[in-house]
Structure 1
């Protein structure tokens, strides 16, 4: 096999590996939800004499969490009095039993593009998939679980009736033994809650305790099955970013003191922890600069995943008070909003909660350019087209070498055919002849392959941007393309809407054959581009290359429309650049003439 064909096959194989890797699915376990379960272990039971956590075992009866609070049942959650949450972007409520933020919906996002139902993020115990945040204090020293507020504590409203950006609410609870607890909750115009917990010590002895925050998720969440997308635990501990899928959390080492499979990290100054979905996230964020303990846990007995932030122990002297402030992000993973919190609130590396992938050094700037273009144009589809032009412009010096090499290889095609006929079955003779031909004409076959391989990380990064970022969700382009994050909804099986039949449902056997307009245009653009490249001299390789555009057309048929649009634009620009460069080197490719002649020959043979 000559070097030219080796490089062609190498490029095809590597490109195929990248594409196939993106379509690998991992079956997710079915959600198993116990509606009567609650947080099995919200925090540690006690602490030792210093500020590090000394974790005590959960109660032996199984009826308590690590703080000893009784489990909250679905009936208790349903009967709980509530405070309303109402902002321009979210709506929901806070349960006064436990003071939980367990009811939150996002007004700006619909479940279906044509529906009226908005996305629900947090749900209380008793719902189909309970998911909520709760806060509290854990006892230390001489205090017991009865001295601190727990999961079933009924809080009173001290101030405020509705939580809004202009009206915070304050809850209070008196333990009847001289300790009075307050919890002030604020919310901004987007998705950030500020929770300030305080305790007054009106006793004649010092009180030792520590504050905590918990996000709990009942049952294994239903996640996307794409390997390229991370869903699960995401946390930053000082400078270390940790991402774990739910199945990995369930494989943590079992810690009997915690009552579950646990991973614990001591954070010195900056960090956050939470659960991330493709488009949504719920994250606990201590005050920047505050040391804390970050805990991720799976409680098998209750089938609950949870993350916790535990603050250092404080000793509250008689007649004094202590206060702890932290934040809760619960909302859409909008880059601009998250970046605002990173810059203005000091949440260190908060934008890294978005899954930028391995090639983040490409992905981040590509997204920023796309986001800026959309701000100017106001249409994500045309922004992708313009972004393609920019990327092709930046990559042109590399691509130019590739196109020049292909033009020279195309010119040598007749000579290669003569060498093949003269060598017959003598592979060694053919190889020597090819090497001499390359040397005489100063052609390096590898120079045409390497620039193409160097572009793979850029393409991977763009795929990541289009697939992962929420800014593409339900973003329209033109006509029938109303969601660039979804596959082309048109179908060749109903003649693109001309026949009164609905296209097959995604996931069905016929869906693979239900090609839309964009995938078909992609196949055609790849086919045209291939006509400019030197054809392999080996018949089997030539057949593989001939089928490649149509195989890719079906492979990418169910990819996001935004990605397919990019590839069509990329192929069109590549074809134009390569065509002009080949003409500038004296080679005049008659692509369309060759196509017509090929069709006439096939008709004649038939």
Structure 2
């Protein structure tokens, strides 16, 4: 077997071992069991009695966030900013209507992305806030999911004008909820209560995100996390919808839930491919977080319950939490993290290779800002990566060139050793040692390239910045497969090729996959074909198999692969020539297409 082919097979085997080893030593974190609910003692006129805490009452209250009462006829407060449009229902004070002005459903469609939606619509998704009763209060004494709030006439929520909702329970408690929004996607919700009852009361503020059913556009792709995401005291938690649905049944209310007590920084919410809603207590605020699933009504929800407040007669207390609801833009989320939301950038699914995906995207984002075109930014990133790994590539290609020079002497050693393979291997290794050649050096660029390739694939697939990012001509969405094919004359005719998930797309592939196959084929021709017929056939088909395999991948990834192959070809050609070996590319191409003589003929 040719040594170069041995190196390739060895590289594939070692790469598989690296991935398997990583999965073994760094498995995904196990979901910890939910802590048991403890009763707390509260004072009463008759002395201390054991009753459920307000936090536990909040768990019960938030288990019913989506009562099927219609909210369509309830009064609403308009939300309007440069990036958001929507409204707040005064029934429950629900933030349940939100659309993202900067993002279209598809490139050509005028419809903007509708993110949150009220009860009664398909895929209802909304945020609720309220108070859970403690000692001295009943459920009807505090605002809940269907409380009808009042707002000032003509109120409109904008970045410059917060809105305050008010509700009086008629028994001496007055509740206010002030909602503010910044220039991007962050809402600040300040809940306050004034105790005019003449008695001491206790109650706990909470926030809830509720989602009716799984999202209609759920990808269910292994490389992407969709579902519940949260940070608890520096530990990231990612739960798929199926994980939540498999929780043990909570005996208190029949829901399936997991509850955590957070002592410091944290947040919890739902993440989609490109969008996210997250409940965020103030930094350093202890809170109780939970993920729940009500299988009777097919409702998923996340809750944040703050510590119980005790108010003496005449006292007022307030608490402020935040709600992120919008697009997972790297720069925006990074700014919020720098502003004090611990670990918020980890809400983007960087994967196990986060130590590669994070810096790769940071550099890509910088290059995009510098160049102004994501396609050229990917090519520039490829050049930078090749520069970084050039020292290893140089050693590899120099070693390959040296081995080519030693090929005649190796053939002589094989002839002298005959069938004694042990003697043959011993003399070959002595030759390598004498000539200072490392046969494994050719594996290094491949081993390095595999995690880089996977990380870049992750970045291109997961990050919002690649969505609908144009390159040139027909390539107007680098997160989508190549839209060209023979059917539209590779983009010359004004319509797209076959749908990416159709059988036709496997046959009529685009121009980018074709260029990928050609670049891999040319790279092979730097070396003569293997003498073994089986290997020769495998290597001959490999570029075209990859061409069809990667044809349905994001076009941004294919752009990277083409650029990488082109640079690799140039590097290998020049380095091998500088070490005395002159690759006969055209001769190897000619030999590969030369017709073999028929059996029995010279």
When normalised by structure 1's length, the TM-score is 0.88
**What is the CA distance between 1:508 and its match in structure 2?**
1.6
**How much has 1:540 moved relative to structure 2?**
2.1
Deviation string, structure 1 residues 89-138 (Cα, Å, up to 9, x no partner): 01011111011000000000000001101111101111110011010000
Contact 2:85–2:99 (8 Å) recurs in 1: yes
Task: Find the residue that maps to 2:560 and give its secondary structure.
Answer: helix
Tell me, yes or no, if the aligned pair for 1:46 and 1:53 is still in contact at 8 Å.
no
User: Which of 241, 244, 253 is residue 248 of structure 2 equivalent to?
Assistant: 253
Q: 2:10 is matched with which residue?
A: 10
> In 1, Cα distance between the equivalents of 2:597 and 2:96?
68
Q: 138, 144, 149: which one pairs with 2:138? A: 144
**Alignment partner of 1:478 out of 444, 468, 472:** 472
Q: How has the CA–CA distance of structure 1 residues 501 and 268 changed in structure 2, closer, same or farther, with 3 Å as cutoff?
A: closer
User: What value does the CA root-mean-square deviation take over the aligned residues?
Assistant: 2.9
1:403 — aligned with what?
Answer: 397
- The answer on 1:78 being equivalent to 2:79 is no
SS of corresponding position for 1:455: helix
The answer to whether structure 1 residue 553 and structure 2 residue 554 are counterparts is no
**Match of 1:305?**
300
Query: How many aligned positions are there?
Result: 575
1:240 aligns with 2:235: yes
Give unmatched runs, 5+ long, in structure 2: 21-36, 44-51
Q: Which moves more between the two structures, 250-259 or 390-399?
A: 250-259
Q: CA deviation at 1:425?
A: 6.4
Shift, 1:428, TM fit: 4.4
Superposition deviation, residue 514 in structure 1? 2.6
For 1:431-470, what aligned pairs fall within 5 Å after superposition?
Answer: 431-432=425-426, 434-470=428-464
User: Which of 143, 157, 179 in structure 2 is aligned with 1:163?
Assistant: 157
Q: Which runs of 5+ in 1 are unaligned?
A: 21-43, 59-64
Task: Report what 2:226 is aligned to.
Answer: 231
Structure 2 equivalent of residue 41 of structure 1: none
The question of 1:129 aligning with 2:123 is answered yes
Closer, same or farther in 2 for the Cα pair 1:439/1:4, shift >3 Å? farther
How far is 1:52 from its partner?
6.6
Give the drift of 1:86.
Answer: 0.7
Asked whether 1:49 is paired with 2:50, we answer no
After TM superposition, give the deviation of residue 545 of structure 1 in Å.
2.2
Q: Write the distance in 1 (CA, Å) between the matches of 2:412 and 2:533.
A: 15
For 2:368, the equivalent position in structure 1 comes to 374
8 Å Cα contact 1:254-1:260 kept in structure 2 = yes
SS in 2 for 1:264: strand
**TM-score, with structure 2 as normaliser:** 0.89
**Contact kept? 1:197, 1:325, Cα under 8 Å:** yes
Residue of structure 1 in register with 2:383 after alignment: 389
Task: Report the equivalent of 1:28.
Answer: none
Of 170-179 and 46-55, deviating more is: 46-55
- For residues 508 and 16 of structure 1, do their structure 2 counterparts lie closer, same or farther at Cα, with a shift above 3 Å needed? farther
Between the aligned partners of 1:78 and 1:411, the Cα distance in structure 2 is 80
Q: How much does 1:443 deviate?
A: 2.0
Q: Distance in 2 between matches of 1:433 and 1:591?
A: 31
Q: Does 1:332 align with 2:349?
A: no
Give the equivalent residue in structure 2 for 1:541: 535
Moved more, 526-535 or 585-594: 526-535
Deviation of 1:403 after TM superposition, in Å, equals: 1.1
In structure 1, distance between residues paired with 2:249 and 2:475: 49
Question: For 1:207, which of 179, 201, 212 is the aligned residue?
Answer: 201
1:266 aligns with 2:251: no
Residue 435 of structure 1: how far off its partner (Å): 3.1
1:319 aligned residue:
314
Q: Is the 8 A contact 1:99 1:135 kept in 2?
A: yes
Structure 1 residues 495 and 185: CA distance shift in structure 2, 3 A? same
What secondary structure, in the 3-state scheme, does the structure 1 residue paired with 2:461 have?
Answer: helix
The residue aligned with 1:36 is: none
Following the alignment from structure 1 to structure 2, what is the Cα–Cα distance between the partners of residues 499 and 338?
40
